[in-house]
């Protein structure tokens, strides 16, 4: 006698489900440890450039000097955008969110990339490098058009972070601004199977191309439970307005079950290792640019007030919010800046998925009506 196989356990929100193998990054939530290809994020933060992280994720190792020079040159060569994409950015409606314009621009890049339909590993790496190079150009153009200004073209002699800041603001960044942007880009480059990365892997598991997978990932990043949390955090700090008002705000938030943005994490339950680096650099930026503003103090007060209610810690978006604010980035652009970093991780995951692909297609627990009787159109009431 054969018995039916046991139904697999249902895990709402896929909590606790392991859905992919990856050699890219590991997240140890209990101990608050993040590694990129085995290298602890604390050893990488503020010691490597974003370009080095791109090499690490795409080619499996930190580059030597020659490899880094080549990769940096490749990125610098590929920063420009096709005219059609620039026209789209310039003609996007005023009320379109930067993430909507970015997502559409990335989808449009598929029209112009000569390798779009080629999903071989080599072609996907070429496309991925182009996307890493093009994301800052798109985002800076979106920012400037929203300000009613002309986009500024890239400067090949500047490194990735410096060029990004230059295209955003139209002037050469200070060393501190450049290093802060670089640190941010390094820290957010990859993070295991977060929602947007999972989305990119689901799309590429169907053999969809890189631009399709990245467009899907951008959709998943937009929400405020994921990439949208930095914007929501900064808006919350602006709403609180003063350090003295923090305790009352947090008290009321818990009473009314309003979520405190930038706090809590699905995996990290003892703290997010990236947060302390972002705090340190946000404080440096505040000291340098803050003109008496105290958003870092305010964020620290929120952290303390939350801990008096529940064991919840700041996540990556919490101190990113003041850091990006002091870099002169409007809150509406924060999620795009996140995407400018995560494009490296998404692309590396798509390559990993193609390397050992199986269609990702989970089941669902059906909870609708059973054995309904069909009624013809005439019979239906």
| Annotated catalytic residue 265 | yes
Instruction: Find the residue with minimal CB distance to ligand COA.
Output: 264
User: One of 265, 272, 334, 349 is an active-site residue; which one?
Assistant: 265
Residue 260 CB coordination number (10 Å): 22
Instruction: Transcribe 43-56 into DSSP letters.
Output: HHTTTS-HHHHHHH
* Cβ closest to ligand COA, residue 226 vs residue 294: 226
Distance, in Å, from the CA atom of 326 to the CA atom of 290, rounded to the nearest integer, reads 7
**Sequence-distant contacts of 18-23: CB under 8 A, at least 24 apart:** 19/193, 19/198, 19/360, 19/362, 20/193, 20/198, 20/201, 20/353, 20/360, 21/356, 22/192, 22/193, 22/349, 22/352, 23/60, 23/352
CB 184 within 8 A of CB 165: no
Distance, in Å, from the CA atom of 151 to the CA atom of 87, rounded to the nearest integer, reads 11
Q: Bridge-partner residues for 33, per DSSP?
A: 28
| Annotated catalytic residue 150 | no
Closest CA to 13 of 267, 217, 264: 267
* Cβ at position 170, least distance to ligand COA in Å: 31
Q: Which residues bind ligand COA (CB under 6 A)?
A: 225-226, 229, 259-266, 310, 312, 315-317
Residues 6+ apart with CB under 8 A from 88: 101, 104, 105, 108
* Cβ closest to ligand COA, residue 21 vs residue 255: 255
Instruction: Transcribe 314-357 into DSSP letters.
Output: B-HHHHHHHHHHHTT--GGGHHHHHHHHHHHHHHHHHHHHHHT-
* Cβ closest to ligand COA, residue 96 vs residue 195: 195
* Cβ at position 126, least distance to ligand COA in Å: 31
Closest CA to 161 of 25, 289, 35, 52: 52
| 198-229 core/surface letters (b: 16 or more CB in 10 A; e: else) | bbbbbbbbeebbbbbbbbbbbebbbebebbbb
Cβ burial, residue 289 (10 Å; 0-12/13-18/19+): middle
User: One of 211, 317, 334, 349 is an active-site residue; which one?
Assistant: 317
* Cβ at position 227, least distance to ligand COA in Å: 8
* Cβ at position 345, least distance to ligand COA in Å: 14
* Cβ at position 339, least distance to ligand COA in Å: 14
**Sequence-distant contacts of 61-66: CB under 8 A, at least 24 apart:** 61/37
* Cβ closest to ligand COA, residue 136 vs residue 262: 262
* Cβ closest to ligand COA, residue 41 vs residue 316: 316
* Cβ closest to ligand COA, residue 126 vs residue 191: 191
* Cβ at position 79, least distance to ligand COA in Å: 29
* Cβ at position 239, least distance to ligand COA in Å: 15
* Cβ closest to ligand COA, residue 125 vs residue 259: 259
Enumerate the active-site residues.
265, 317
């Amino acid at each position: 006698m054969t018995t039916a196989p046991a139904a697999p356990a249902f895990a709402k929100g896929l909590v606790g489900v392991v859905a992919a193998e990856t050699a890219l990054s590991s997240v140890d939530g209990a101990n608050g440890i993040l590694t990129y290809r085995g290298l602890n994020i604390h050893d990488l933060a503020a010691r490597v450039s974003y370009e080095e992280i791109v090499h690490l994720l795409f080619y499996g190792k930190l580059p030597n000097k020659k490899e880094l020079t080549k990769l940096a040159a490749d990125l610098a060569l590929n920063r420009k955008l096709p005219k059609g994409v620039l026209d789209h950015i310039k003609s996007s409606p005023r009320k379109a969110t930067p993430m909507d314009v970015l997502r559409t621009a990335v989808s449009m890049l598929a029209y112009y990339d000569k390798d779009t339909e080629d999903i071989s590993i080599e072609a996907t790496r070429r496309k991925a490098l182009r996307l890493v190079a093009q994301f800052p150009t798109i985002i800076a153009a979106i920012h400037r058009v929203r300000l009613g200004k002309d986009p500024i073209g890239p400067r090949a002699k500047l490194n990735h972070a410096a060029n990004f800041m230059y295209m955003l603001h139209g002037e050469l960044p200070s060393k501190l601004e450049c290093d802060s942007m670089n640190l941010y880009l390094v820290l957010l480059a990859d993070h295991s199977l977060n929602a947007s990365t999972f989305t990119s892997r689901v799309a590429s598991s169907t053999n969809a191309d890189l631009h399709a997978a990245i467009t899907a990932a951008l959709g998943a990043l937009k929400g405020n439970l994921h990439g949208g949390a930095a914007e929501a955090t900064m808006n919350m700090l602006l709403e609180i307005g003063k350090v003295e008002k923090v305790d009352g705000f947090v008290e009321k938030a818990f009473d009314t079950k309003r979520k405190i943005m930038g706090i809590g994490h699905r995996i990290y339950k003892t703290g997010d290792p990236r947060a302390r680096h972002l705090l340190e650099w946000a404080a440096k930026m505040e000291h340098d640019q803050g003109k008496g503003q105290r958003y870092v103090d305010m964020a620290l007060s929120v952290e303390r007030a939350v801990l008096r209610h529940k064991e919840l810690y700041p996540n990556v978006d919490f101190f990113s919010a003041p850091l990006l604010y002091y870099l002169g980035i409007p809150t509406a652009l924060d999620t795009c800046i996140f995407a400018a970093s995560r494009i490296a991780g998404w692309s590396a995951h798509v390559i990993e998925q193609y390397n050992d692909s199986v269609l990702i297609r989970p089941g669902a627990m059906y909870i609708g009506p059973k054995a309904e009787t069909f009624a013809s159109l005439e019979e239906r009431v």
